Every structure is written in structure tokens, then in C-alpha cells.
């Protein structure tokens, strides 16, 4: 009778291979997590740029900015706007912040002229997960233009963990 010899891996060899795979997986997951957070920050910046464009279109038609970025029901018209013109005319849906941050909506502060009572300025703000690499375009501080009252009166536009835009 012929004896068969089975050669296999020892327990130590298997444990070493598993340990190497675990270390490599950890390194890959850490890199992937950082890339995901940067991607979410890019989405936030893109979202508030879309809102900024919609607000510019609204201002061109109505000579004022809306009091909120909440989309009114169809047919609702803001003060001074032509019939049927509302924020929804310029943007189909107000974007919400992607998951992974501590906010789900973007902050919107309006600036009302002390003379005319019209909303003539605004600031849009998004919380970023990473230090801002796009701070050159972001407002460095909350605007303090004289003759304009802001509501809410301040946003944390510190250009490191926040990205803020105003009218172009």
C-alpha cells in the first residue's frame, strides 16, 4: 500500500498571511475614507454653487433675493417678482449636504437693506469635513457691509472648516 503524503501550510504560515492581508486592508481603507470625505466636500461646494446660480437668476427677475432657500409651491411668487417666478423657476430641488457631516442642509443668511427693506445680499455656508483647500473662493469672514442687516446675524465663515459664498 502506497502512503500518500499531503503537504500543506502550517498554522504559523497561515497566520502570517492573514496578518499581512489585514495590514494592507487597513491601509487601503484609511486612504479610501480620506478620499470619500474629500469627495463629499467637493459635492458640498458644487451644491452651494448651484444654489448661488439659482439665487442670481431669482435676483435678475425680482431685484431681490428670497427670504429662504426653501422652494415655494408652484405658482407662489416672491415680493416684486413677475407672476409665476419663484426660486423653483431656477432650481428644481435645493440640494442637501451629503452624509458624513454634522449638517444636512446648507445655512443661508440674508442681508436686508436698511433703506429699501429689500434683501440685497446673502451668504451661503457649508460645513466641510477637511480643512478647506478652496478658501481662495470662499468668503473669509461674514460680511459686515454697512446699511445692511443680516438674518441670522452671523455664520462661522472661517475659511478652514466652512465654505461660504455670497452674490457674484
Residue range 11-38, pLDDT digits in tens = 999 999 999 999 999 988 888 888 888 8
CA distance 34 to 82: 46
CA distance 25 to 39: 21
Q: Please give the residue that has the higher pLDDT: either 152 or 134.
A: 152
What is the reported pLDDT for 21? 95
What is the chain's alpha carbon radius of gyration, rounded to the nearest angstrom? 26
| Residue 103 dihedral angles phi and psi, to the nearest 5° | -135, 150
Contact yes or no for 55/66 (Cβ under 8 A): yes
What is the reported pLDDT for 16? 95
CA distance 20 to 40: 31
The H or E element containing residue 109 is: strand 107-113
CA neighbor of 165 nearest in space, from 112, 117, 107, 97: 107
18 DSSP assignment: H
What is the reported pLDDT for 40? 87
What is the reported pLDDT for 52? 92
Assess whether pLDDT exceeds 80 at residue 143.
no
Burial zone of 59 (CB within 10 Å; 0-12 exposed, 13-18 middle, 19+ buried): middle
Assess whether pLDDT exceeds 60 at residue 122.
yes
The residues with which 2 forms a beta bridge, in sequence order, are none
Name the least confident of 62-71, 80-89, 113-122, 145-154. 145-154
Give me the percent of the chain exceeding a pLDDT of 70.
79
Assess whether pLDDT exceeds 90 at residue 7.
no
Residue that has been written with the C-alpha cell 452671523 in this structure: 154
Whole-prediction pTM: 0.74
Amino acid at each position: 500500500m502506497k502512503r500518500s503524503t499531503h503537504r500543506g501550510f502550517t498554522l504559523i504560515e497561515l497566520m502570517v498571511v492573514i496578518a499581512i492581508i489585514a495590514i494592507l486592508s487597513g491601509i487601503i481603507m484609511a486612504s479610501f475614507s480620506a478620499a470619500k470625505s474629500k469627495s463629499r466636500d467637493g459635492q458640498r461646494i458644487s451644491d452651494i454653487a448651484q444654489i448661488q446660480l439659482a439665487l442670481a437668476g431669482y435676483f435678475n427677475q425680482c431685484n431681490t433675493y428670497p427670504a429662504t432657500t426653501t422652494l415655494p409651491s408652484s405658482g407662489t411668487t416672491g415680493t416684486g417678482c413677475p407672476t409665476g417666478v419663484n426660486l423653483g423657476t431656477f432650481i428644481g430641488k435645493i440640494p442637501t449636504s451629503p452624509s458624513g457631516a454634522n449638517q444636512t442642509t446648507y445655512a443661508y443668511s440674508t442681508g436686508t437693506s436698511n433703506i429699501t427693506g429689500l434683501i440685497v445680499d446673502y451668504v451661503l455656508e457649508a460645513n466641510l469635513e477637511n480643512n478647506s483647500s478652496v478658501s481662495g473662493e470662499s468668503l473669509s469672514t461674514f460680511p459686515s457691509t454697512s446699511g445692511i442687516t443680516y438674518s441670522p446675524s452671523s455664520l462661522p465663515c472661517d475659511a478652514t472648516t466652512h465654505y461660504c459664498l455670497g452674490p457674484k
